[in-house]
Structure 1
Amino acid sequence: MKKFISILFISVYLFSFQEFRQVFKLPTLVEHIVKHRIENGEFSLVNFLNHHYFSGNVMDNDYAQDQKLPFKQIDFTQFSTIVFVVESNNVLKIETPKRLFTENKNFFIYKNNFISEFQHSIFQPPEILM
């Protein structure tokens, strides 16, 4: 199940980009190459790419089909957002929150001049420094 969900999310993410959506047009590309090979037996893949992609937009008798090939047209999908800016003379006042808890400011401080009776023994009880 995790694998399926992962593949689903990756697919949705990749197909949100324009360039990856062009993969759906690959069957049209193959059909168009086959059509040119039937018309001219010496028409190679390099000739096809040169004629359709590197020569600019050539206006020939199959121009409409040429525009359906992948990466020939870029479709921009835009999301429109509308932002309203409202001017107002009202000033937003933010009050400081009331403290629910009080801080205990008793700090333990080490005193150098403190000499304990238990310092000379190995086992010592816990010390409270004030």
Structure 2
Amino acid sequence: MKRFTGILLLSLHILAFTECHQLLRIPYLMQHFEQHCSGDPGMSFSVFIKIHYLGPVIVTDDFKQDQQLPFRSMDCHMLNTTVCIYEPVTFEIDPPVEVPAVFYCYNETNKPQFSSFDIFQPPRQV
């Protein structure tokens, strides 16, 4: 019983809030195709679809019947519709800045002054 109720509620929701209720109009599509075939026996189903869906909208004497075909118009309006517009994010990565390597050579003539005050020194004779 729970499964049946779940399927029923899901079906009602899908038919009410999506365009799936347009599938219930498929018998109108077949009937309209048969009317076109009676007028032009050489018409195929692909030509019929091309005329009614892929071509420009042409107002003829059977325009009311054309509007009853499935997926001709979108008439499902949802109450809680949210439209999110995403702008593409662009970012640039700057190349790394090269720091010039400067090496100091300490020899006896260019000895730093603070070495005499250094904690770790060799033992001295007093």
- Same-fold call, TM cutoff 0.5: yes
Tell me the TM-score normalized by structure 2.
0.57
Q: Which runs of 5+ in 2 are unaligned?
A: 81-126
- On the 8 A contact 1:18/1:75 being kept in 2, the answer is no
Amino acid at match of 2:75: D
Aligned length in residues: 80
- On the 8 A contact 1:25/1:70 being kept in 2, the answer is yes
RMSD: 1.7
Amino acid at match of 2:18: Q
Query: 1:57, 1:48 → 2: CA distance?
Result: 13
Higher helix share: 2
Tell me the TM-score normalized by structure 1.
0.56
Query: 2:48, 2:76 → 1: CA distance?
Result: 26
Structure with higher Rg: it is 2
- On the 8 A contact 2:17/2:76 being kept in 1, the answer is no
Residue in 2 that maps onto 1:63: 63
Q: Which runs of 5+ in 1 are unaligned?
A: 81-130
- On the 8 A contact 1:25/1:68 being kept in 2, the answer is yes
Shift of 1:77: 2.7
- On the 8 A contact 1:53/1:72 being kept in 2, the answer is yes
Dislocated runs of 4+, deviation >4 Å: none
